Amino acid sequence: MFGDLMGMMGKLKETQQKVAATKKRLDTVLVDEQSNDGLVKITLTANRTVKSIAIDDSLLEDKEQLEDYLIVTLNKAIEKAAAINEAELAAVAKEGMPNIPGMDGLFQQ
Amino acid sequence: MFGDLMGMMGKLKETQQKVAATKKRLDTVLVDEQSNDGLVKITLTANRTVKSIAIDDSLLEDKEQLEDYLIVTLNKAIEKAAAINEAELAAVAKEGMPNIPGMDGLFQQ
ipTM of the complex: 0.81
Interface of B with A in 28-87 (CB under 8 A): 48-55, 57, 60, 63, 66-67, 70-71, 74-75, 78, 82, 85-86
Residues B56 and B39: beta-carbon distance below 8 Å: yes
Q: What is the pLDDT of residue A109?
A: 45
| Structural domain span for residue B57 | 2-95
Q: Residue B45: which H helix or E strand, with range?
A: strand B40-45
Has residue A104 been placed in a domain? no
Taking the alpha carbons of B86, B91, B96, B102 in that order, is the dihedral positive or negative?
Answer: positive
Answer whether residue A106 is part of any domain.
Answer: no
Asked if residue B83 belongs to a domain, the reply is yes
Counting as low any pLDDT under 70, the low residues of chain B are 1-3, 97-109
The answer to whether residue A105 is domain-embedded is no
Is B102 within a domain? no
The tens place of each residue's pLDDT in chain A, 109 residues long, gives 566 777 878 888 888 899 999 999 999 999 999 999 999 999 999 999 999 999 999 999 999 999 999 999 999 999 999 999 999 999 988 877 665 555 555 555 4
Say if B85 falls within a structural domain.
yes
- Is the residue at B100 inside a domain? no
Please give the single-letter amino acid code of residue A48: R
Is residue A91 situated within a structural domain?
yes
Domain count, chain B: 1
The reported pLDDT for the residue numbered A11 is 82
Name every chain B residue with its beta carbon within 8 A of the beta carbon of A16.
Answer: 102, 105-106
The CATH code of the domain that includes B27 is 3.30.1310.10
Residue B30 C-alpha from the chain's centroid: 10
Q: Are B60 and A60 within 8 A, CB to CB?
A: yes
